[in-house]
Structure 1
Amino acid sequence: MIEAVFWDFGGVFTASPFHAVRPYSALLGIAHDELLDLVFGPYHLDTDHPWHRLERGEGTLAAAMAAAATAAQERGVAFDARAFFGAMRDDIDRTIVVDTVRELRALGVRNCIVTNNAKEFADSWRTLIPVDELFDDVVDSSAVGLRKPNPAIYELALTRLGVSDRSATVFLDDFEPNVAAARALGMHGILVEHPAPAMAELRRLAGLR
């Protein structure tokens, strides 16, 4: 029986930044992975990279974007932060994700967002879905000083939701290393590449028809 579900935000309830910026990388004439590395650094690790510091609440968005622009300039690439963030959109209908959260809540399953985020985005991302209505807690990396895939942020989320049986939990994310980190702790992990199959797998685990 699933007791709690832990949800990433970007890439689950909104477009994945890891996939949605492909058109912008093509516009710049560089590989998609190179663009991600310019901005996010080695995202599968938790380092002192400016973006990682931003997500831990240790740095600013301006500093992270300045570092990305400098790194791009060194590679002969004209990076524009506004264009980069403007590319983070797609046409995928994610209503099924919110509907699934509501179904789980109706069954008494607890739900928590575990997001790598920035303080500068705090007021905007919470307006995209009814966060307070849907979730029992929100673990925001920039507020707690920890970021995925550091196991400590998963441990914190489990503790805050009062869950001891990790096999009775599910974690969803659009970034495979973050999912792998949850699985290493004994949680069920679902990689969200498209909402429909991900929700189908979650429903199977939770016993929803």
Structure 2
Amino acid sequence: MNSIKAVFWDFGGVITTSPFDSFNLYEEKHGLEKDFIRRVNSTNPDSNAWAKLERNQIDLSEFNDLFLNESTNLGYPIQGVDVIGLLQGQIRPEMVQALEAIKGNLIQACLTNNIVSPETQLSDQNVSIAGKNEEIMSLFDFVIASSEQNVRKP
């Protein structure tokens, strides 16, 4: 008997490619130190702009201003909207195949940082749940989104 009953999947960076690659390309292009954006996001991790956006406590406009202030204080001014634009990830076909292979055998839950604004919904890596992504999301038994739960994804 299989003791494993469920699989919890992270969407961005697992089902899709990592945003960290995009962050590093942006940093290189703009002459910033490597992993600077990650450092901004990890400074005051429970109260910074990123944490507040994940918990749906601020909108994208507020995020833009707060992130700009935080990044400036750490040495390089970056607009928050520029960072949001870097979140787009590419679907990893091999991960979709893994989802499909275990569908029906185990409970599958997707944990996602889900950023909501009045104009648009940006889930992990700026992937809208439409078309192919809707098909992928249908493979999960549960989707747990940070903005809907008002918590950060662990």
TM-score, scaled relative to structure 2: 0.77
Offset of residue 76 of structure 1: 5.4
CA distance in 1, matches of 2:49, 2:85: 20
The 3-state SS of whatever aligns with 1:126 is coil
Match of 2:43 in 1: 42
2:62 aligned partner, one-letter code: A
2:139 aligned partner, one-letter code: L
Q: How does 1:1-209 map to 2 (within 5 A)?
A: 1=2, 2-38=4-40, 40-42=41-43, 45=45, 47-74=46-73, 77-88=76-87, 94-106=92-104, 108-120=105-117, 121-122=122-123, 124-127=127-130, 129=133, 130-149=135-154
CA distance in 2, matches of 1:57, 1:41: 18
Provide the identity percentage: 26
Offset of residue 64 of structure 1: 1.5
Q: Structure 2: any 5+ residue segments left out of the alignment?
A: none
2:106 aligned partner, one-letter code: V
Q: Does the aligned pair in 2 maintain the 1:28–1:77 contact within 8 Å? A: no
**Matched length:** 144
Offset of residue 52 of structure 1: 0.3
Provide Cα deviations, 1:95-120, integer angstroms capped at 9, x if missing partner.
011111111014x2111101122123
Provide Cα deviations, 1:64-102, integer angstroms capped at 9, x if missing partner.
121122233445534244543444457x76101111111
Q: Does the aligned pair in 1 maintain the 2:112–2:144 contact within 8 Å? A: yes
2:37 aligned partner, one-letter code: L
Q: Structure 1: any 5+ residue segments left out of the alignment?
A: 150-209
The 3-state SS of whatever aligns with 1:113 is strand
CA distance in 2, matches of 1:112, 1:83: 30
The 3-state SS of whatever aligns with 2:8 is strand
**Root-mean-square deviation over aligned CA pairs:** 2.6
Offset of residue 29 of structure 1: 1.5
TM-score, scaled relative to structure 1: 0.59
Higher helix share: 1
Q: Does the aligned pair in 1 maintain the 2:17–2:92 contact within 8 Å? A: no
